[in-house]
């Protein structure tokens, strides 16, 4: 029933990926906690300004993960030249996306932030943060591209090391610039954005330098990286564009949710920001398992072993369900202790306690959907079906329920969040059927 070789490789790949995600989330959590010391307005402004980067991250995740579908299968059948060409496609697409988002952050920040709030104090604070963050939007695509393609070739330690260095630098500079410590100026909430920009640029430069210094499979001249033809580009785009669209539509849906939460009041949005921070932390091991599973499934399909790919998904899903049950229970009983250190009022605290409890209860279905969408459908090249189900349930079930519950029934923010989770249950049932049908398996590189 259990493939010991697969479980061994899954552990070796998932641990560094999980650690990398852990360090990133811890860095963001520490920054949020430090920002939270400045009060509700600062933490809400930081949350608003982060929404554009959130959308960029998801779209770029779509580009990088979509291309890594091919690179994992290319690695499985030994086509290293094609991996370099896929790297070039990913860099080209990512930099175009990053440039577009940077233009919005620097030229049209009022238009974007006006979606979330009309409060002049909040808007003014968020504008300053977004203009600082916008300069980092060209470096994020490069980091993500090299990270995902290195992982697809089995090199998960190098991205982990570089990411850890960037997070440590971000925390150190954030402490100094937010509170005026370590001989640095006291910039308040803008110090967090400045620290993140410096850390992001440093991380990008160090990662690219180490790729060539250590002579990884991606260390090639630019001519080889950008030697792809239009036929190859079209083949990549046929699978990547649904993933990009999926992430963009999903990101817009999450932005719609956040706009709805924000319109319920500062306390409600502060509670959502706290819940999101905890959610990012608790999903660290699931991201490790899911991304490691995607790599191994892609390698297996590229090696023309579809039965093993089906078995890999089944075993990963069982592991994730067991882990989700345990972590959900621990989260539910520890939520009071988690919130003690935050300087928030009693209303925001009550909202956050209820939202964390709901998160604990739905953790198993959300983590299972991670396996289905990233580990299974994307690694199997089933990107169109994943796009239809993911985006379709969000915009036909989740967003309408959020709008109705918030503005028609005037329910508190935690009830709105609970109703939104119905979309996750629907996705789980449809994805389970897709898994059992085996229609998600597509060999993209055999020809």
pLDDT in tens, 324-338: 999 999 999 998 888
Tokens linked to 384: 């169109």
In this structure, the number of other CB atoms found within 10 A of the CB of residue 408 comes to 8
In this structure, the number of other CB atoms found within 10 A of the CB of residue 44 comes to 28
pLDDT > 70 in the chain, percent? 97
47-56, 274-283, 365-374, range with the lowest pLDDT: 47-56
Number of helices (H) and strands (E) in the chain: give both, helices first. 18, 0
Long-range contacts of 353-359 (CB under 8 A, 24+ apart): 354/412, 354/414, 355/271, 355/272, 355/274, 355/275, 355/413, 355/414, 355/417, 356/274, 356/275, 356/278, 356/331, 356/332, 357/332, 358/414, 358/417, 358/418, 358/421, 359/275, 359/278, 359/279, 359/282, 359/331
Tokens linked to 357: 């409890």
Which residue do the tokens 């690694």 mark? 379
Q: Write the DSSP assignment of 368-403 as a string of letters.
A: HHHIIIIIIIITTT-HHHHHHHHHHHIIIIIHHHHH
Most confident listed range (105-114, 184-193, 348-357): 348-357
pLDDT score, position 241: 86
Rounded to the nearest 5 degrees, what angle is found at the Cα of 250, between the Cα atoms of 247 and 251? 80
pLDDT beyond 60 at 447: no
Q: Where are the beta strands (DSSP E) in 122-202?
A: none
**Mean pLDDT of the 226-232 span:** 87
Give the Cα separation of 38 and 125 in Å (integer).
12
pLDDT in tens, 96-110: 999 999 998 888 888
pLDDT score, position 1: 65
Please give the DSSP secondary-structure letter assigned to residue 134.
Answer: G
Give the Cα separation of 387 and 393 in Å (integer).
10
Most confident listed range (5-19, 268-282, 413-427): 413-427
pLDDT score, position 446: 63
Tokens linked to 219: 């260390």
Tokens linked to 119: 């409060």
pLDDT in tens, 244-254: 888 888 878 88
pLDDT in tens, 152-183: 888 989 999 999 899 899 889 988 988 888 88
pLDDT in tens, 292-304: 999 899 889 888 8
pLDDT in tens, 10-68: 989 898 888 888 887 777 767 767 776 776 677 777 777 777 887 888 888 888 888 98
């Amino acid at each position: 029933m259990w493939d010991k070789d697969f479980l061994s490789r899954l552990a070796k790949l998932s641990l560094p990926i999980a650690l990398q995600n852990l360090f990133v989330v811890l860095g963001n959590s520490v920054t949020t906690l430090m920002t939270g010391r400045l009060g509700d307005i600062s933490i809400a402004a930081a949350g608003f300004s982060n929404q554009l980067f959130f959308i960029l991250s998801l779209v770029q995740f779509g580009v990088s993960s979509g291309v890594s579908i091919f690179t994992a299968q290319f690695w499985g059948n030994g086509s290293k030249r094609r991996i370099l060409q896929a790297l070039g496609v990913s860099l080209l697409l990512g930099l175009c996306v990053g440039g577009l988002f940077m233009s919005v952050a620097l030229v049209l920040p009022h238009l974007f932030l006006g979606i979330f709030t009309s409060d002049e104090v909040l808007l003014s604070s968020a504008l300053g943060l977004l203009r600082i963050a916008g300069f980092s939007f060209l470096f994020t695509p490069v980091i993500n591209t090299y990270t995902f393609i290195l992982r697809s070739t089995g090199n998960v330690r190098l991205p982990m090391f570089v990411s850890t260095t960037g997070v440590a630098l971000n925390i150190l500079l954030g402490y100094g610039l937010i509170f005026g410590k370590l001989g640095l100026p006291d910039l308040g909430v803008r110090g967090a954005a400045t620290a993140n920009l410096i850390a992001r640029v440093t991380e990008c430069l160090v990662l690219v330098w180490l790729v060539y210094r250590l002579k990884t499979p991606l260390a090639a001249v630019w001519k080889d990286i950008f030697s792809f033809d239009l036929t190859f580009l079209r083949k990549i785009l046929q699978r990547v564009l649904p993933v990009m669209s999926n992430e963009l539509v999903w990101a817009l849906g999450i932005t719609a949710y956040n706009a709805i939460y924000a319109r319920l009041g500062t306390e409600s949005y502060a509670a959502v920001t706290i819940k999101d921070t905890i959610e990012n932390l608790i999903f660290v091991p699931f991201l490790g398992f899911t991304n490691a599973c995607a790599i191994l499934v892609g390698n297996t399909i590229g090696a023309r072993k579809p039965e093993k790919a089906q078995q890999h998904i089944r075993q990963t899903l069982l592991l994730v369900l067991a882990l989700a049950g345990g972590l959900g229970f621990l989260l539910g009983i520890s939520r009071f202790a988690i919130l003690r250190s935050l300087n928030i009022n009693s209303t925001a605290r009550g909202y956050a306690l209820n939202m964390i409890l709901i998160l604990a209860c739905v953790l198993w279905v959300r983590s299972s959907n991670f396996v289905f969408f990233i580990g299974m459908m994307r690694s199997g090249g089933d990107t169109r079906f994943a796009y239809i189900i993911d985006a379709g349930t969000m915009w036909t079930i989740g967003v309408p329920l959020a709008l109705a519950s918030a503005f028609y029934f005037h329910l508190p923010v935690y009830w709105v969040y609970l109703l939104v989770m119905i979309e996750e249950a629907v996705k789980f049932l449809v994805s389970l059927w897709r898994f059992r049908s085996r229609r998600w398996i597509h060999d993209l590189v055999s020809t």
